[in-house]
């Protein structure tokens, strides 16, 4: 230990000013000249280097077996690291709840790890920690899941806890009260944030859905009976997939599936709880924006500027998925995307701008997002619309498009190198009933997207959306009216917002 300290002290000596040989240290003047040469060379490079060759990805085989109760067991062997990631995917989520029960799927999934009939929440956590394992649960719009990672030598013991969590949740009133309290506190804080408030309002206003985490009214009204009823109706082996990825064989996975889950009885499913998808069609030609709404949040430090468009005729399993993915990468999928280039890099109006698709089975929700000063909110809204128009009116050039394709394929390849990433990719396919062979088609699907297909997608689907701006309206009111003179601007006070109202206003609740 002392020897290492002495070496460290020796390395901290001041640099020598003497010595001109090849092995001598550079003098301070030499360092300055060297730095200037590097800077000059960098300034002489007028364009970034071209991307390297596309990477190849080795996608291992997915093996499946179906148990007697209908549970699908899927396994991918990755034996290079002694880690196994396991996910119980349940193909039911927030789409199976109504507005007055919003947040029920998320609360149910969250409470799975908060105690079982034989283990308290603390015992679940301590048991996993003792094994060096992690476990988490949650719900999205399309599915719910319990996910665990553990070293392969501890897998059997960890699976016992995971199975207990999935099959025997206690749903105690004490834990439910705690989940509700935490959710309400988080929601209260989030509703003061412009970006959250915009997305919160858009779930109903633009997409005709509801917030995944619920509303204040739905959370407060949630009962233990609601949670147990949802669990009993939606959690069923015939609607679930047990996914294993990592240091495990197909035979081991089948054995574990049978040992821990074959006795799980199928649920009596109540399909009436499923709510209809938003029914706004794509393909309308006309203006990019059909509605412009401001949620007035006086005193907000910044404004959130967003574009929302539901597209009912394009789903995750559809042929347009790859065109949509590359379009998103081009428009708002990273630092060098068009939105970020125009809004952040060229004008310095935001720390970042992006876009995304929220996939459903047979439709998708498209949105763009950025946050800016209140003074520049109207200008940023114009820039977003201009970029959407540009997608529909002009072909992207290949030198711009090719790097965006490679961002997607490179990210896909890296994602599949980890057990967690590959588990997520498989869960996405199983959620939408897409064959696992689609993993092998991703690279070619992305690479086949052309400038023409992106333009066609934008032309067909990205018209007639909604702009929602959340911020201090008094600051950008005049500029917004000046830049959008022919549009009706709907203004809703933030403290008047109520998603259960047809007009989003508390005063208009029936």
Dihedral sign computed on CA atoms, order 482, 347, 358, 281: positive
The edge-to-edge listing of strands for the beta sheet with 489-493 is: 353-359, 364-372, 303-311, 465-471, 289-296, 489-493
Which tens digit of pLDDT belongs to each residue from 354-382? 999 999 999 999 999 999 999 999 999 99
Domain with 18 in it: 2-37
Model's pTM, two decimal places?
0.86
Tokens of 390: 């540009």
Q: At what angle do helices 194-205 and 173-190 cross, to 10 degrees?
A: 110
Q: Please, are residues 201 and 468 in contact by the beta-carbon 8 Å criterion? A: yes
Query: Are residues 341 and 467 both part of a single domain?
Result: yes
Domain membership of residue 56 (yes or no) is no
Residue with tokens 């004008």: 347
Tokens of 465: 């959306």
Position 283 scores a pLDDT of 47
Residue 55 lies in a domain: no
CB-CB contact of 409 with 472 (8 Å): no
**Residue located via tokens 């603390």:** 122
Q: Let me know whether 300 and 399 are in one domain.
A: yes
Examine the domain organization and report whether 229 and 325 are in the same domain.
no
**Residue 297 shares a structural domain with residue 269:** no
**364 and 398 both lie in a single domain:** yes
- 185 and 262 together in one domain: yes
CATH code of the domain covering residue 263: 3.30.830.10
**Are 130 and 164 within one domain?**
yes
Burial, 224: exposed, middle or buried (Cβ in 10 Å; 0-12, 13-18, 19+)? middle
> Quick one: pLDDT at residue 47?
56
309 shares a domain with 269: no
Tokens of 289: 């924006």
Assess if residue 284 is contained within a domain. no
Residue ranges of the alpha helices (H) in 63-103? none
Predicted pLDDT of residue 20: 40
Q: Classify residue 49: in a domain, yes or no.
A: no
**510 residues of the chain, pLDDT tens digit each:** 443 433 333 333 344 433 344 344 444 444 444 444 444 444 444 555 665 555 566 778 999 999 999 999 999 999 989 999 999 999 999 999 999 999 999 999 999 999 999 999 999 999 999 999 999 999 999 999 999 999 999 999 999 999 999 999 999 999 999 999 999 999 999 999 999 999 999 999 999 999 999 999 999 999 999 999 999 999 999 999 999 999 999 999 999 999 999 999 987 665 444 444 444 444 456 799 999 999 999 999 999 999 999 999 999 998 899 999 999 999 999 899 999 999 999 999 999 999 999 999 999 999 999 999 999 999 999 999 999 999 999 999 999 999 999 999 999 999 999 999 999 999 999 999 999 999 999 999 999 999 999 999 999 999 999 999 999 999 999 999 999 999 999 999 999 999 988 888 988 766
In a domain, 469, yes or no: yes
Residue given tokens 């068009």 in the structure block: 338
Whether 167 and 67 share a structural domain = yes
Count Cβ atoms within 10 A of the Cβ of residue 215 and give its class: 0-12 exposed, 13-18 middle, 19 or more buried.
buried
- Tell which residue, 341, 345, 346, 457, has the closest CA to residue 391: 457
Q: Is the separation of the CB atoms in 331 and 339 below 8 Å?
A: yes
- What's the pLDDT tens digit per position in 448-499? 999 999 999 999 999 999 999 999 999 999 999 999 999 999 999 999 999 9
State how far the Cα of 510 lies from the Cα of 507, in Å rounded to an integer.
Answer: 9
Cα–Cα distance measured from residue 497 to residue 492, given in angstroms and rounded to the nearest whole number = 7
| Whether residue 247 sits in one domain with residue 308 | no
The total of structural domains in the chain comes to 3
How many Å apart are CA 15 and CA 95, to the nearest integer? Answer: 66
Burial grade of 107 (CB within 10 A; 0-12, 13-18, 19 or more)? buried
- Residue written as tokens 């001041």? 14
Domain identity same for 329 and 476: yes
Q: Is residue 478, in this structure, part of any structural domain at all?
A: yes
**Shared-domain flag, residues 164 and 240:** yes
Nearest to 219 by CA among 167, 181, 163: 181
């Amino acid at each position: 230990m002392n020897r290492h300290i002495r070496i460290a002290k020796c390395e901290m000596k001041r640099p020598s000013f003497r010595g001109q040989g090849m092995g001598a240290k550079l003098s301070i003047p030499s360092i300055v000249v060297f730095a200037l040469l590097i800077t000059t060379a960098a300034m002489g490079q007028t364009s970034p280097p071209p991307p390297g060759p596309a990477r190849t990805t080795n996608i291992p085989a997915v093996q499946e077996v179906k148990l007697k109760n209908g549970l699908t067991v899927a396994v991918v062997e990755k034996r290079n690291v002694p880690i196994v990631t396991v996910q119980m995917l349940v193909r039911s989520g927030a789409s199976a709840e109504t507005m007055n029960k919003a947040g029920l799927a998320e609360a149910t999934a969250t409470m799975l790890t908060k105690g079982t009939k034989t283990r308290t929440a603390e015992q679940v956590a301590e048991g996993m920690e003792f094994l060096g394992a992690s476990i988490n649960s949650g719900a999205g719009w399309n599915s719910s899941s319990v996910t665990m990672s553990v070293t392969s030598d501890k897998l059997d013991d960890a699976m016992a806890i995971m199975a207990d969590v999935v099959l025997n949740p206690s749903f105690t009133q004490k834990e439910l009260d705690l989940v509700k309290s935490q959710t309400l506190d988080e929601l209260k804080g989030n509703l003061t944030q412009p970006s959250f408030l915009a997305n919160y309002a858009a779930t109903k206003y633009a997409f005709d859905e509801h917030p995944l985490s619920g509303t204040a009214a739905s959370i407060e009204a949630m009962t233990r009976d609601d949670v147990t009823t949802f669990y009993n109706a939606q959690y069923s082996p015939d609607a679930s997939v047990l996914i294993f990825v990592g240091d495990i064989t197909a035979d081991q996975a089948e054995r574990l599936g049978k040992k821990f889950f074959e006795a799980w009885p199928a649920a009596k499913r109540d399909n009436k709880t499923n709510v209809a998808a938003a029914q706004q069609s794509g393909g309308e030609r006309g203006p990019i924006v059909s509605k412009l709404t401001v949620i007035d949040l006086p005193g907000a430090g910044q404004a959130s500027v967003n574009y929302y468009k539901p597209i009912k005729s394009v789903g995750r399993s559809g042929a347009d998925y790859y065109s949509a993915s590359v379009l998103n990468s081009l428009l708002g999928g990273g630092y060098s995307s068009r939105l970020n280039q125009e809004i952040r890099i060229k004008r310095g109006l935001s720390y970042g701008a992006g876009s995304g698709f929220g996939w459903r089975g047979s439709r998708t929700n498209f949105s763009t997002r950025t946050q800016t000063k209140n003074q520049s909110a109207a200008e940023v809204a114009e820039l977003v619309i201009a970029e959407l128009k540009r997608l529909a009116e002009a072909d992207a050039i290949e030198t711009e498009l090719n790097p965006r394709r490679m961002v997607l394929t490179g990210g896909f390849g890296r994602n599949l190198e980890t057990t967690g990433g590959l588990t997520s990719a498989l869960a996405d396919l199983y959620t939408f009933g897409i064959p696992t062979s689609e993993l092998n088609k991703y690279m070619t699907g992305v690479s086949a997207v052309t400038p023409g297909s992106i333009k066609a997608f934008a032309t067909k689907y990205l018209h007639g959306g909604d702009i929602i701006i959340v911020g201090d309206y008094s600051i950008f009111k005049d500029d917004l009216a000046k830049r959008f003179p022919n549009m009706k601007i709907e203004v809703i006070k933030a403290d008047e917002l109520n998603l259960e109202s047809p007009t989003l206003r508390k005063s208009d609740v029936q």
